[in-house]
Amino acid sequence: MTAPADPLDPVRAALLRAAHTAADEVRDRARADAQETLRAARASADEVLARARDRGAADGAAAAAGERVRAVQDAWAAELAARAAVYAELRARVREGVRRALARGAVPQTRLAARARTLLGADAHVTAAPAGGVTGEVPGRRVDLSADALADRALERLGARAAALWEPP
């Protein structure tokens, strides 16, 4: 004998189908929400990554520009130091050359003394300079015709022409 059919079986079956359908809808919505969340997260991550790349490129460009500026400044400082060393060497050689010329009598001491008196007057006190040449003095005025002063004035007269010393041949 078969068991009598439960009158609630159709209701239970309908409720079970409705629960499965609702669960399937919730699951489908959850999957769709998860996919949308993943898509939004990936898009956000892509935006963050793009901004980070842009910032990194900008930072790198700024750093590279700073390095270029520092390199140009360092090169200019090195060039100025080299120019100063060349000029100091030239000055030392010119001074030595003038000292030697005065020691050989290229310009007699008496001629330099006469020039000092011409510049300061006949009452000028003229003395021999230690490295050659003379200095002259009167109250309130002094003239330096020493070997080093004459050499330095000769180099100063070069003026802008001295820049040719730094140019390649």
pLDDT digits (tens, 9 = 90+) for 27-49: 889 899 889 988 988 998 889 88
Residues 6+ apart with CB under 8 A from 128: 109, 134
Quote the strand ranges of 23-90, DSSP E. none
pLDDT at 7 over 70: yes
pLDDT at 55 over 70: yes
pLDDT at 169 over 70: no
Residue with tokens 């006469």: 114
Higher pLDDT: 168 or 49? It is 49
Q: Using CB atoms within 10 A of its CB, is residue 90 exposed (0-12), middle (13-18) or buried (19+)?
A: middle
pTM beyond cutoff 0.85? no
pLDDT at residue 98, as a whole number: 93
pLDDT digits (tens, 9 = 90+) for 64-121: 899 899 999 999 998 888 888 888 888 899 999 999 999 999 999 999 999 999 999 9
Q: How confident is the model at residue 133 (pLDDT cuts 50, 70, 90)?
A: very high
Instruction: Report how far residue 71's alpha carbon sits from residue 64's, in angstroms, rounded to the nearest whole number.
Output: 10
Q: Tell me, rounded to whole angstroms, the distance of Cα 40 from its chain centroid.
A: 44
